[in-house]
Amino acid sequence: MATITCFGELLLRLTAPGRERLLQTLALDVHVGGAEANVAVSLSRFGHQASMVGVVPDNPLGAAARAELSRHGVDVSRVRSGDGRMGLYFLEQGAILRPSEVTYDRAGSAFAIADPAGYDWGTLLAGAQWLHLSGVTPALGERTAQAAIAAATMARQMGVRVSFDGNFRPKLWRQWRGDAPAILRELMGRAQIVFADYRDITVVLGREFAQTDPFARVDAAAHAAFEAFPQLEVMACTHRTPHSVDHHTLSAQLCRRDGASVHAGSLDVAGIVDRIGGGDAFAAGLLHGLIENMADSDALTFALAAAVCKHSLPGDFNLVSAAEVRSIAEANGFDVRR
């Protein structure tokens, strides 16, 4: 069992029911979510001690979000209440060839406006073995970017390992014209594990990767990332080929500093229920596998199976156990290519 601290914003997700357009009928389904919270819930369900750090408004919405994480075993004692509103996002789920669409409503949220000096990272990270961050947090504004960098910096000083998911969100960065490459470079520069593909590395390093084969493209991007970030040990990502909104092919790749590259998949995922949170499920699955000292191929297969499980569940959270993920991985017999 490992102790993992996740830092990010707790959100409410408001989804048009079925496959309707947003407000086609005046009803919305509500789920609690957020990239880092999704990882915390998965890790808790896999048997780890996961805690959440953040700020929610001092109102019934903030209380409900905290209670929902607590219900899944996540320690929310470090989620404090503050001024501001609840962060929201609206989801219109696509169908056939009409893509899904996310509309953010997060400006002025309690998390976004919180003073970065209000986080005592020496105390908040005490006893943690891992800190998990994502690129969504710094995309919200200068204050959250400062807080994320401070968290990663203190983690390095304390010997806490850092996991960072690139999660590049152009819509959020554009709202405050933040310098995404510079800020994401600082965060990647403090992480031992990065969840990113060639597109993330292109944003961060300003380099294009033109290899035709997608796995070779990620290999090249990983090589560039390992050159740029001396502390980086592992880079991992999924590969997604959409055939329609409801039918994708998924595979995964893990690269190590020594040049090793492991692939898992590919797997046809048809009849998708909800793909939101699939990347977070993958990240949590791989962290679990590596923490449990699985071989890279086994850890990657577990992570891909966790991501596939998430595609079967509505909402942001991947509400499955490690045993359920293992059974799906074994039943599908994912190919591992070295």
> pLDDT per residue over 242-270, tens digit each?
999 999 999 999 999 999 999 998 889 99
Alpha helices in 252-316 (DSSP H): 278-291, 296-310
Q: Cα 281–294–252 angle (5° rounding)? A: 45
Torsion of CA 227, 228, 232, 238, to 10 degrees: -90
Give the pairing type, strands 11-15 and 234-244: unpaired
Q: Residue 332 has what pLDDT?
A: 53
Q: Residue 338 has what pLDDT?
A: 45
49-63 pLDDT, tens digit each: 999 999 999 999 999
Q: Per the domain annotation, does 314 fall within a domain? A: yes
Q: Which amino acid is at 130?
A: W
Q: Per the domain annotation, does 279 fall within a domain? A: yes
Number of other residues whose CB lies within 10 A of the CB of residue 142: 14
Q: Per the domain annotation, does 124 fall within a domain? A: no
Residue 39's H or E segment, with its range, is: helix 35-45
Q: Residue 328 has what pLDDT?
A: 84
* CATH number reported for the structural domain that contains residue 284 in this entry: 3.40.1190.20
DSSP3 helix / strand / coil % (the chain, rounded to 5): 40, 30, 35
Q: Per the domain annotation, does 197 fall within a domain? A: no
Q: Per the domain annotation, does 37 fall within a domain? A: no
For residue 294, what are the domain limits? 234-338
* 264 Cβ contact partners less than 8 Å away, ≥ 6 residues apart: 251, 252, 253, 297, 300, 301, 303, 304, 334, 335, 336
Collapse the DSSP code of 336 into the 3-class scheme (helix H, G, I; strand E, B; otherwise coil) and give the result.
strand
Question: DSSP for 223-244?
Answer: HHHHHH-TT--EEEEEEEEEEE
Q: Please state the domain count of the chain.
A: 1
Alpha helices in 59-179 (DSSP H): 60-71, 110-113, 121-124, 136-139, 142-158, 170-176
Dist CA 274 CA 264 (whole Å):
22
Q: Which of 172, 224, 182 is nearest to 201 (CA)?
A: 224
Dist CA 35 CA 112 (whole Å):
15
Q: Per the domain annotation, does 39 fall within a domain? A: no
Confidence (pTM)? 0.95
pLDDT digit string (tens) for the chain, length 338 residues = 689 999 999 999 999 999 999 999 999 999 999 999 999 999 999 999 999 999 999 999 999 999 999 999 999 999 999 999 999 999 999 999 899 999 999 999 999 999 999 999 999 999 999 999 999 999 999 999 999 999 999 999 999 999 999 999 999 999 999 999 999 999 999 999 999 999 999 999 999 999 999 999 999 999 999 999 999 999 999 999 999 999 999 999 999 999 999 999 888 999 999 999 999 999 999 999 999 999 999 999 999 999 999 999 999 999 999 999 998 888 754 554 44
Q: Per the domain annotation, does 238 fall within a domain? A: yes
Number of other residues whose CB lies within 10 A of the CB of residue 273: 12
Side-chain half-sphere of 232: how many Cα atoms within 13 Å? 28
Paired with 49 in beta bridges are 3
271 backbone dihedrals φ, ψ, rounded to 5°: 70, 40
Give the pairing type, strands 87-92 and 11-15: parallel
Residue 201's H or E segment, with its range, is: helix 198-205
Q: How far is CA 87 from the centre of its chain?
A: 17
Q: Per the domain annotation, does 249 fall within a domain? A: yes
Dist CA 159 CA 256 (whole Å):
21
Q: Residue 265 has what pLDDT?
A: 80
